[in-house]
Structure 1
Amino acid sequence: MHADVIIDVPFHDVDTMNVVWHGHYLKYFEIARCKLLDQFHYNYKQMLASGYAWPVIESHVRYVQGIEFEQKIRVRAILKEWENRLKIEYQIFDATTAKRLTKGYTSQVAVHIETREMCFQSPQVLLDCLNAWSEFKAE
């Protein structure tokens, strides 16, 4: 399962060398992650409504080539793990040439909002959303 978003790099995301500041890559990952979560109807509002927060506990970015102002990029988020955590991998490509510019991943775990306890398995509500989505896609 994956989702793609197209982003036109804005001026306020670049540094004095006209290259995207390294911290903004995580923002681009987040935009693609939200689109991915929307596909199976378990984005942040649904997470909170179900009684769980999903903080990012780990992130990694491999900067392959700098991204510049006004460059059109395609960010792909790929769901890799979901049984015990959400692990999502990302790839950023130049939207025109399809050259890969960046890759990375994030890991998130479920935390029960009421007790503030971390879950060592993903809650059933996530699995139900994924199952409903996969059944819908199979039709």
Structure 2
Amino acid sequence: MHADVIIEVPFHDVDTMEVVWHGHYLKYFEIARCKLLDQFDYNYKQMRDSGYAWPIIESHVRYAHGILFEQKIRIRATLKEWENRLKIEYQIFDAKSGKRLTKGYTTQVAVDMHTKEMCYQSPQILFERLNAWAEFKAE
């Protein structure tokens, strides 16, 4: 399962050399991650409403090629793991040439919002949402 978003790099994301500041890559990952979570109706509002927070506990970015002001990029978020955690992998491509510019991943775990305890398995609601999405896509 994956989701793609295309954005044009705004001026406020770049440094004086018109290269995207390294911290903004995680923002781009977040934009694609939300689009992915929307596909199976379990974005942050639905997570909260189901009684769970999903903090990011790990992130990694591999900067292969710089991204420039006004460059159109495509960010792909791919769900890789969900049984015990959410691991989402990302790739950023130049929208025109298709050249891969960056890759990375984030890891999130469920935390019960009432007890503040980390869950060692993903909550049932996640599996229900993923199964409903899979059934819908199969129709």
User: Normalising by structure 1, what TM-score?
Assistant: 1.00
Gaps of 5+ in 1: none
- State the shift of 1:105 in Å: 0.1
Instruction: Name 1:87's counterpart in structure 2.
Output: 87
* Poorly superposed stretches of 4+, deviation over 3 Å: none
Identity of aligned residues (%): 82
- State the shift of 1:17 in Å: 1.1
Instruction: Name 2:123's counterpart in structure 1.
Output: 123
- Give matches, 1:46-65, under 5 Å: 46-65=46-65
In 2, the alpha carbon distance for the partners of 1:76 and 1:124 equals: 26
- Give matches, 1:21-100, under 5 Å: 21-100=21-100
In 2, the alpha carbon distance for the partners of 1:88 and 1:113 equals: 22
- Give matches, 1:8-27, under 5 Å: 8-27=8-27
Measured against aligned partners, the alpha-carbon deviations of 1:54-82 in whole angstroms (never above 9, x if no partner) come to 00000000000000000000000000000
In 2, the alpha carbon distance for the partners of 1:12 and 1:50 equals: 35
Q: How many residues align?
A: 139
In 2, the alpha carbon distance for the partners of 1:28 and 1:67 equals: 12
Give the letter aligned to residue 14 of structure 2: V
Instruction: Name 1:106's counterpart in structure 2.
Output: 106
- State the shift of 1:99 in Å: 0.2
In 1, the alpha carbon distance for the partners of 2:103 and 2:87 equals: 14
Give the letter aligned to residue 56 of structure 1: I
- State the shift of 1:113 in Å: 0.2
Give the letter aligned to residue 128 of structure 1: E
**3-state SS of 2:26 partner:** helix
